[in-house]
Amino acid sequence: MKSAGIFNGVRMKEIKEKRFRTKKGRVYNLKTRKAAVAELLPFLKKETVFQLCMQCPNFDKLWSCPPIVPDFEKFAAGYKYADMFLFWADTRQFSAEENPTLACYEFLKKKNRKYLLNLEEEKSGRAVFSFSCDLCSICRKKEGKPCKKPDEMRFNLTAFGFMIEDLSQVLMNHRISWSKDKNEAQYITQVSFLLYA
């Protein structure tokens, strides 16, 4: 029997929620919680995720994507904590767009990136996003050259081998909505970390 206020072993009071409205009237939501880096490790499913990554057009073509991404445990060795950030927004707000799902995804990506990079500076931490790096129009990895912006490039959770759906559901009490057949996802979800000592 689960104690009141506990879901999947996570105390719900640990999760904070905020709602934001832009000047254009678009709404997005943010759930946050603090975790120890050790709490995240059970959600690393490298082999399973790697097989999925091999089907992605970015595989072996971006410096932020597999198979060249460092091992997460080594990457996070200098950090003890991870603030988790789950951004989500309803795709219906973008119904006038040609592709509402993509428009919503790009909208959240801008909010997500700006929010975490500001906090990264405050906490002397390191952000890990839920999307691939797109700082350059063409990644130099495709040309066999070093990253042009190594200090600005950030890895993404999937590239490290994290199961985003499991992280979202177990640690943030949030189910992901997926596009299926010709039906658009009802909402877009992005999960990111801020690692710090």
pLDDT tens track for 159-186: 999 999 999 999 999 999 988 777 889 9
Q: For 4-50, write each residue's pLDDT tens digit.
A: 455 455 554 589 999 999 999 999 999 999 999 999 999 999 999 99
Residue position matching structure tokens 């595989």: 59
For residue 96, CA distances in Å to 99, 104, 175 come to 8, 11, 25
For residue 19, CA distances in Å to 88, 116, 127 come to 10, 16, 21
How many CA atoms does the CB half-sphere of 63 hold within 13 Å? Answer: 20
- Three-state SS at 15: coil
What's the confidence (pLDDT) of residue 181?
A: 73
- Three-state SS at 73: helix
